[in-house]
Amino acid sequence: MAVSGSEASVAKARRNVTITAAIAGLAGLLFGYDTGIIAGALLTITPEFGLNSLQAGMVVGAVPIGAVGGAWFASRGADRYGRRSLILLSAAIFIVGAIGSAVAADSFILIVSRVVIGLGIGVASAVTPVYISEVAPSEMRGSLVTFFQLAVTVGILAAYLVGYAFTDVNEGWRWMLGLGAVPALILAVGIVRLPRSPRWLMMQGDEQGARAALERVRPAGTEAIDLEIQEIQSTTSPDTSRWKDLRQPAVKAALLVGIGLAILQQITGINTVIYYAPTIIQSTGIDSAGSAILASLGVGIINVLMTVVALRLLDQVGRRTLLFIGVSGMSLSLFALGVAFVSGMPETVSTLLAIGSLMLFVSSFAISLGPIFWLLNAEIYPLSVRGKAAAAGTMTNWFFNFLVSLTFLGLIELLTETGAFWFYGTIGLVTLWFCWKFVPETKGKTLEQIDAIFERRAKN
């Protein structure tokens, strides 16, 4: 059966925009690989450098602290230099940090190098979802922005595999950390071939460049490109935004959602699971570091598979429905995980319950708070302040990432494993209320239509 010219054009445009999102989404690999690799590396770094719980927390927490600084830089640079340029810069920074971590002679150099890694990840995580949301058509935006989160989960899984491979190698943690430069190099090579954001080009007054960028990711010769250019023009102003512009009523209404989800995504405990999965599993009675990392692979595989599910559902089921389903599952699994550590529990039952709970938790996160925070944080702000507002959400997310990763081991010492996980589960219930009360449905809406939702909220 012959395919018409228009159908071929549509198929080509969908293929081009999907490839664009997939390549840009590789920035998530930087995020995911480092998040996952430190879980395995920490098991051997801690005894080699003689780290106590606070120092181990600093090795883990150095990345989110650096990421706060990287996101702050992105807030100023995304609108000035462009989304694509900052993604390229983030890859270069990450390469430097990964190599520095691999050759670190002591804990101080390791922590500094991981702060550098955090700078690169902070820039990438602030800019990449925004870039993808600005090149994606509205009917594909949810699934395409989720490529970033999918790359995060693939990076975590790859890190677990690398960690397992180098567990018994002398100073294998150096290889674990150093190999993080590989996805950064791939990203750097790929990103230079992608179009710039058409909306950023319009902010620079380059309508011809914006049109050319859209023609690479939209069906050729259609009126839709003209209409999209006009719609972007109606909401575009020159790049003169300042931080005080975030105090506009409609922007504040959007920031309540973005920053609220940024905090809740972290304090429901996801990075206690990702950073410390092998440590948690060891606590149930598995003695071997290699066996603990291998058990964590199941968590990583589930994370990838369920993010693929989210990729297909976000533009069909919608953001709110997935949030309600996923956050409910997160809370349930956290309460069950706490039960796994109740005194007197048979070791086999405890281990199986812990691993099952971890898998349910990660599955639920992967279809809800995992991708949906990054998606909403990229799509709910007006174009004139999108770079700064998205960076504010990202900085908040990384700051609370740091607090949770730094305090988790101490929280266990204070409340025991059971109390700590029940604490996170209770926060999950608060998250359900927040999503019901404040998070709008943005499925199928253009970025400009989403702006109108918060304009109406600001007036009510």
Q: Is residue 10 part of a domain?
A: no
Residue range 109-125: mean pLDDT, rounded: 92
For the stretch 40-58, pLDDT in tens is 788 788 888 888 877 777 8
* Tokens 């054009």, residue located: 9
Q: Is residue 11 part of a domain?
A: no
Q: Is residue 196 part of a domain?
A: yes
Q: Is residue 123 part of a domain?
A: yes
Instruction: Please determine, for residue 285, whether its predicted confidence score (pLDDT) is greater than 80.
Output: no
Q: Is residue 4 part of a domain?
A: no
How far is it, in rounded angstroms, from Cα 219 to Cα 14? Answer: 8
Instruction: Please determine, for residue 408, whether its predicted confidence score (pLDDT) is greater than 90.
Output: no
Q: Is residue 99 part of a domain?
A: yes
Contact yes or no for 119/71 (Cβ under 8 A): no
pLDDT of residue 411: 84
Domain that includes residue 212, residue range: 16-459
Please give the C-alpha separations between residue 428 and each of 37, 86, 164, 333, in angstroms, as whole numbers. 26, 34, 31, 10
How far is it, in rounded angstroms, from Cα 189 to Cα 354? Answer: 41
Residue range 427-432: mean pLDDT, rounded: 96
317 in helix, strand or coil?
coil
For the stretch 217-249, pLDDT in tens is 888 766 778 888 887 777 665 555 677 778 888
How many structural domains are present in the chain? 1
pTM: 0.78
Q: Per this entry, what is the length of the chain? A: 460
Q: Which of 251-260, 280-289, 364-373 has the lowest mean pLDDT?
A: 280-289
Q: Kindly state the percentage of the chain with pLDDT values over 90.
A: 28
CATH number reported for the structural domain that contains residue 427 in this entry = 1.20.1250.20
Looking at every residue in the chain, the average pLDDT score rounds to: 84
Q: Is residue 418 part of a domain?
A: yes
Q: Residue 31 corresponds to which tokens in the numbers above?
A: 């995020």
Of 136, 126, 114, 134, nearest to 33 by C-alpha is 114
How far is it, in rounded angstroms, from Cα 223 to Cα 239? Answer: 27
Q: Is residue 9 part of a domain?
A: no
Q: What share of the chain is helix, strand, coil (3-state, %, to 5)?
A: 80, 0, 20
* Tokens 């490529």, residue located: 147
Contact yes or no for 379/450 (Cβ under 8 A): yes
Q: Residue 50 corresponds to which tokens in the numbers above?
A: 């003689």
Of 27, 16, 1, nearest to 150 by C-alpha is 27
Is residue 186 packed enough to be buried (19+ CB in 10 Å), middle (13-18) or exposed (0-12)? middle
Q: Residue 16 corresponds to which tokens in the numbers above?
A: 């081009």
Q: Kindly state the percentage of the chain with pLDDT values over 70.
A: 91
pLDDT of residue 276: 62
Contact yes or no for 101/178 (Cβ under 8 A): yes
pLDDT band at 140 (very low <50, low <70, confident <90, very high): confident
